[in-house]
Amino acid sequence: MREFIGESLIDGVLTVTLQRADKKNAITQSMYSALAAATERARLDDAVRVVLFRGEGDSFSAGNDIADFIAIGQSGGGQVTDAPVFRFLKGLADLDKPVVAAVRGRAVGIGLTLLLHCDLVVVAEDALLSAPFVNLALAPEAASSILLPMTMGHQRAFEIFALGEPIDGRTALAWGLANRAVPAGEVEGVAAELAAKLAARAPNSLKKTKRLMRDAEALWAHMQREGQAFGSQLSSPEAMEAFMAFSQKRAPDFSKIG
């Protein structure tokens, strides 16, 4: 186990667990480094046939750690595509093995956009999924600006991005973001069952099928375009106001920002 990231390989299923339950599994840069390493292991290790993402505690992930955002923003942002999060995103784009997600509680930001790179998604009926990038004066990531509209249509995707309001698990199923919506207590079991079924299938056939269904190079190219937009926003006055408002538990005031 690396810091706050657990890995377990059983019967061909590599279970990757976010283990920062006291922070709703908010993801730090060091956690992204560990996730990038786990994803690379999954791609290269023939013993791994399926990857299963899950979160410890009552939430899948609260998204990126805001303290990290504030620190990066105050330092000027730098080349955001060099950050560990983008090594993880490239690993997701390149991964040609099946990926399953088990989602309970909150799935915020990357907690939602990660699901767009999963092949089977099981959500709790009462899970709450959101992508509040605009609320934080940022831009979408993980190629979500093309994958989310492809999944549910422009209007629904724009609502999720622009308003940042959560949708529940039943809505996620109806809008095409999930394969199953089940009671929260059944999520882990259903996801594990689906992962085991995939692990029993012909591995090379599955890999070729996934490669044909996804354009890894195009996804990575779009992730880099998003990274430029994200990076320019990260050190902007808008983002600094949004981060401070979040920390101070108040509504941001963008009225004086042109």
253: pLDDT strictly greater than 80: yes
- pLDDT, one tens digit per residue, over 48-57 is 999 999 999 9
pLDDT at 79: 63
195 domain-assigned: no
Q: Kindly indicate the confidence band of residue 257, based on its pLDDT and cuts at 50, 70 and 90.
A: confident
pLDDT at 156: 98
Give the CATH number of the domain where residue 103 resides. Answer: 3.90.226.10
187: pLDDT strictly greater than 80: yes
**Residues spanned by the domain of 151:** 5-184
19, 28 Cβ separation under 8 angstroms? no
247: pLDDT strictly greater than 90: no
pLDDT at 122: 99
Pairwise pLDDT comparison (69 vs 122), residue with the higher score: 122
10 domain-assigned: yes
256 domain-assigned: no
Give bridge partners of residue 103 from the DSSP assignment: 123
- Residues contacting residue 143 through CB under 8 Å, at least 6 positions apart: 89, 93, 113, 116, 219, 222, 223, 226
16 domain-assigned: yes
Q: How far apart are CA 72 and CA 129, in angstroms?
A: 25
Most confidently modeled of 62-76, 87-101, 231-245? Answer: 87-101
255: pLDDT strictly greater than 50: yes
Count of structural domains, the chain: 1
60 domain-assigned: yes
For the record, the structure tokens of 206 come out as: 């599955």
14 domain-assigned: yes
pLDDT at 1: 46
- pLDDT, one tens digit per residue, over 188-200 is 999 999 999 999 9
Which amino acid is it at 21? A
247 domain-assigned: no
pTM: 0.94
Q: Kindly indicate the confidence band of residue 80, based on its pLDDT and cuts at 50, 70 and 90.
A: low
- Residues contacting residue 84 through CB under 8 Å, at least 6 positions apart: 29, 30, 32, 33, 36
47 domain-assigned: yes
Most confidently modeled of 204-208, 227-231, 238-242? Answer: 204-208
134: pLDDT strictly greater than 50: yes
Q: Kindly indicate the confidence band of residue 124, based on its pLDDT and cuts at 50, 70 and 90.
A: very high
Work out whether the CA dihedral 105, 106, 112, 114 comes out positive or negative.
negative
Q: Kindly indicate the confidence band of residue 66, based on its pLDDT and cuts at 50, 70 and 90.
A: confident
